[in-house]
């Protein structure tokens, strides 16, 4: 079996891995949108890389768009095979794909009108609502913990992974001429002790694992202190008469935050008269799916719901659906907690609330999830003094809070604990789904814990054998794209290293200097050879 890395490689978005079955046919594990900067998002239009005419099955680990949002694009290109996912994920996908298509069509229409005024060509929507509806019809729900043959000689077993409702890891088993190959993809792993869902299950041992590294270089705050921090922020904003803006992902994070606010309200830990506003039709629809699937919640959450602490039980909760309802929030005087999409503040109704409140010193913006490079949320977290919203520069006077304890992703320690039972001679671990610095830091951390562990950090478009061995690119074009991605990666790492060396306070030891000087001399030799060839 060969595995081609089409996304979530040295980045956290665009998750997609193409499995070539020895018996013939391609399978995609996830098919997600690239999100972040404009150059990254252009990859979404390169449909030919996915070979939709040769794909026989798609398996989706969970409903987040960076893992699932490109499926309607492949349907637009002619894919008509099955899309496998858990029942809860399938319910969520039908909602999320339609919402994404609506946004894609709106953006394309707006850009086309702008281009026409400048005599430029029309802009293509990534996919349409018709494509999204057809994609929904291709969904085939699979139960967890059951091996199902999805192609001749290829089975998949979905193993609950926490993270969000219906999320799984995926274990593939392929047979060819009497031999067996097994490859495990972690998907996105949830935290231990999440607010709603059980802990991730530990899969059986295999020889090749693809593991996410979203927080490979970080440890989260514990949930208790994170709750206390949120309580403090809300009460402070209430005293100041300011708004609390919470950009939240429509799936899982919104439901967890609403469930928590309900609990805090019932316990009297936040003001009983503070309005709590859910300004996201998409999150409202997905919340209904959550309520219908309470059997998937952990035991403690089910008990609390029986006692009346449901995600929608805050008496002061106000749910908006129309744009007019959303605009009226800006006329609301005094304090309020506003939960709105999107989670990275790069689209959706949260942008309007930021525009109206970021410049106010009594406003508090609370980020409760990962912020990708290039997103508005990441710029705010990194301390931007102003951000551009709707082509207008808005001054940032609001206080920005990052509360990591609400993250749906396992942190460094939790990733290690999930991986530890798998450690055995011959295991190879492929590190994916993380920004490069975090992924490389996790690799170094693993080598410190397990010195004999073999690891691989692939590059975009790289192909691996089921043994983890790298395979050359299939075409000159792909080789060129892979080398360009590798070069960018190298330059970014070199820039970070230069910054670290420039700021280093402690003197080097002689042995350290000798090693660094040797490496620098080799690099200088390469540069001189390259210069000589140009001259």
Count CA atoms within 13 Å of residue 369 on its CB side: 26
**Average pLDDT for residues 513-535, to the nearest whole number?**
67
Same domain (yes/no): 236, 371: yes
Same domain (yes/no): 128, 232: no
Same domain (yes/no): 274, 343: yes
Task: Give the model confidence (pLDDT) of 435-486 as tens digits.
Answer: 999 999 999 999 999 999 999 999 999 999 988 888 876 666 666 666 666 6
**Band of residue 178 on the pLDDT scale cut at 50, 70, 90:** confident
* Element spanning 97, H or E: helix 87-117
pLDDT of residue 101: 95
Same domain (yes/no): 428, 417: yes
Same domain (yes/no): 465, 358: no
**Band of residue 323 on the pLDDT scale cut at 50, 70, 90:** confident
Task: Quote the mean pLDDT of the chain.
Answer: 90
**Band of residue 46 on the pLDDT scale cut at 50, 70, 90:** very high
**Average pLDDT for residues 75-101, to the nearest whole number?**
97
Same domain (yes/no): 253, 266: yes
Same domain (yes/no): 366, 379: yes
Residue 85 lies in a domain: yes
Residue 388 lies in a domain: yes
Indicate the SS3 state at residue 292.
helix
276 near 339, Cβ under 8 Å? Answer: yes
Nearest C-alpha neighbor of 35 from the set 287, 278, 369: 369
User: Domain ends where: 406, 427, 443?
Assistant: 406
C-alpha–C-alpha distance, residues 71 and 357, integer Å: 36
Pairing of strands 55-59, 83-85: parallel
Domain count of the fold of the chain = 2
User: Domain ends where: 370, 391, 406?
Assistant: 406
In this structure, what CATH number is given to the domain that contains residue 317?
Answer: 3.40.50.10890
Same domain (yes/no): 54, 142: yes
User: Domain ends where: 425, 456, 471?
Assistant: 471
Which range of residues forms the domain containing residue 231?
A: 223-406
**Average pLDDT for residues 328-355, to the nearest whole number?**
91
Burial code of 25-52, b = ≥16 C-beta within 10 A, e = fewer? bbbbbbbbbbbbeeebbebbeebebbbb
Same domain (yes/no): 25, 166: yes
Residue 463 lies in a domain: yes
pLDDT of residue 473: 66
Residue 446 lies in a domain: yes
Structure tokens at 279: 């300004």
Most confident segment among 235-244, 374-383, 517-526: 235-244
**Average pLDDT for residues 52-67, to the nearest whole number?**
96
**Average pLDDT for residues 36-55, to the nearest whole number?**
89
Same domain (yes/no): 142, 198: yes
**Average pLDDT for residues 287-301, to the nearest whole number?**
91
Same domain (yes/no): 432, 291: no
Residue 476 lies in a domain: no
533 or 402, greater pLDDT: 402
pLDDT of residue 508: 75
In this structure, what CATH number is given to the domain that contains residue 204?
Answer: 3.60.15.10
Residue 100 lies in a domain: yes
pLDDT > 90: percent of the chain: 66
- R_g of the chain, CA atoms, integer Å: 24
Structure tokens at 209: 């694992």
Residue 451 lies in a domain: yes
pLDDT of residue 488: 63
Same domain (yes/no): 175, 236: no
Residue 184 lies in a domain: yes
Residue 359 has pLDDT above 80, yes or no: yes
531 or 375, greater pLDDT: 375
| pTM: predicted TM-score of the whole model, two decimal places | 0.84
Least confident among 127-136, 211-220, 250-259: 250-259
């Amino acid at each position: 079996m060969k595995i081609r890395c089409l996304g979530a490689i040295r980045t956290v978005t665009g998750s997609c891995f193409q499995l070539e079955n020895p018996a013939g046919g391609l399978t995609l594990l996830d098919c997600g949108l690239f999100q972040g900067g404009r150059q990254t998002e252009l990859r979404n239009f390169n449909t030919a890389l996915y070979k939709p005419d040769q794909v026989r099955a798609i398996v989706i680990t969970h409903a987040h768009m960076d893992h699932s949002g490109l499926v309607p694009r492949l349907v637009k290109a002619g894919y008509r095979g099955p899309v496998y996912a858990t029942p809860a994920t399938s319910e969520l996908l039908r909602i999320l794909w339609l919402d994404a298509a609506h946004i894609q069509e709106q953006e394309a229409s707006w850009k086309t009108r702008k281009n026409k005024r400048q005599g430029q060509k029309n802009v293509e929507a990534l996919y349409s609502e018709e494509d999204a509806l057809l994609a929904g019809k291709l969904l085939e729900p699979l139960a967890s913990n059951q091996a199902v043959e999805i192609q001749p000689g290829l089975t998949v077993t979905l193993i609950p992974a926490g993270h969000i409702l219906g999320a799984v890891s995926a274990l593939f088993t392929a047979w060819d001429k009497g031999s067996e190959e097994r490859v495990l993809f972690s998907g996105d792993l949830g935290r231990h002790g999440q607010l709603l869902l059980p802990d991730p299950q530990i899969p059986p041992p295999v020889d090749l694992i693809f593991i996410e590294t979203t927080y490979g270089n970080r440890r989260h705050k514990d949930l208790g202190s994170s709750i206390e921090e949120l309580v403090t922020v809300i009460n402070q904003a209430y005293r100041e008469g300011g708004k609390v803006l919470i950009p939240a992902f429509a799936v899982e994070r919104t439901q967890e935050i609403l469930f928590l606010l309900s609990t805090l309200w019932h316990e009297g830990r936040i003001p009983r008269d503070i309005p709590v506003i859910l300004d996201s039709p998409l999150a409202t629809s997905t919340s209904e799916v959550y309520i219908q699937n309470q059997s998937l919640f952990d035991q403690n959450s089910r008990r609390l719901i029986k006692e009346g602490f449901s995600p929608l039980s805050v008496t002061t909760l106000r749910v908006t659906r129309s744009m007019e309802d959303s605009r009226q929030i800006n006329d609301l005087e005094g304090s309020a907690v506003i939960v709105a999409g999107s989670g990275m503040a790069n689209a959706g109704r949260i942008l309007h609330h930021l525009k109206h409140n970021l410049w106010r010193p009594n406003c508090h913006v609370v980020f409760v999830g990962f912020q990708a490079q290039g997103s508005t949320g990441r710029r705010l977290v990194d301390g931007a003094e102003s951000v551009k919203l709707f082509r207008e520069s808005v001054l940032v006077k609001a206080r920005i809070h990052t509360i990591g304890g609400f993250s749906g992703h396992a942190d460094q320690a939790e990733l290690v604990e999930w991986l530890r039972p798998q450690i055995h001679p011959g295991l190879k671990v492929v590190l994916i789904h993380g920004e490069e610095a975090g992924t490389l830091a996790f690799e170094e951390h693993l080598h410190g814990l397990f010195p004999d562990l073999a690891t691989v950090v692939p590059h975009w478009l790289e192909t691996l054998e089921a043994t983890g061995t790298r395979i050359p690119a299939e075409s000159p074009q792909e080789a060129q794209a892979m080398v360009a991605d590798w070069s960018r990666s190298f330059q970014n790492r070199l820039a970070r290293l230069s910054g670290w060396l420039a700021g280093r306070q402690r003197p080097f030891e002689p042995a350290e200097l000798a090693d660094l000087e040797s490496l620098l001399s080799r690099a200088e030799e390469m540069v001189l050879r390259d210069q000589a060839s140009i001259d």
